[in-house]
Amino acid sequence: GNVAAAVAYHEKHRDLLRIAGDKSDAGRHLVAAYKAYAEHLQRAGDVSAAIVYLEKCLMAAKELDDAGGEGQAYELLGQAYHSQKEYAKAVTCFNHFLALTQQQDDRVAEGAACSAIASSWRG
């Protein structure tokens, strides 16, 4: 499919609902679209562009108060920064991911966050 076109239409959908004063969760589709497009860009080797869309994913998840989406965005951002050897940024993202997993009392994800932090500290 054309993920870039899907992102554009999801953004338009969200914007139109905002204009209409609709507080529905249209943004959830946008969070998923940003994540899918970022993953597509990473597979294509464009990690810098993927980071842009992961940051958009994070902002959209925050707007929705979607802690799960926010945590996933931080985890993926951390992985992207780690792959770019930007370890300090990766650790920052993984620490945010860790805090969210602790708030949600998700021990499995908390362990993954700790492992990711350790990996980034090792470089």
pLDDT at residue 89, rounded to an integer: 98
User: Tens digits of per-residue pLDDT, 20-65?
Assistant: 887 666 778 889 999 999 999 999 999 999 999 999 999 999 988 9
Within 10 angstroms of residue 103's Cβ, the number of other Cβ atoms is 10
The answer to whether the beta carbons of residues 82 and 121 sit under 8 Å apart is no
> What is the rounded average pLDDT of the residues 8-26?
81
Sketch out the chain's domains with CATH numbers: 3-122 (1.25.40.10)
The answer to whether the beta carbons of residues 75 and 38 sit under 8 Å apart is no
User: Tens digits of per-residue pLDDT, 76-115?
Assistant: 999 999 999 999 999 999 999 999 999 999 999 999 999 9
- Quote the CA–CA distance of 26 and 111 in Å, as a whole number: 32
On whether the pTM is more than 0.85, the answer is yes
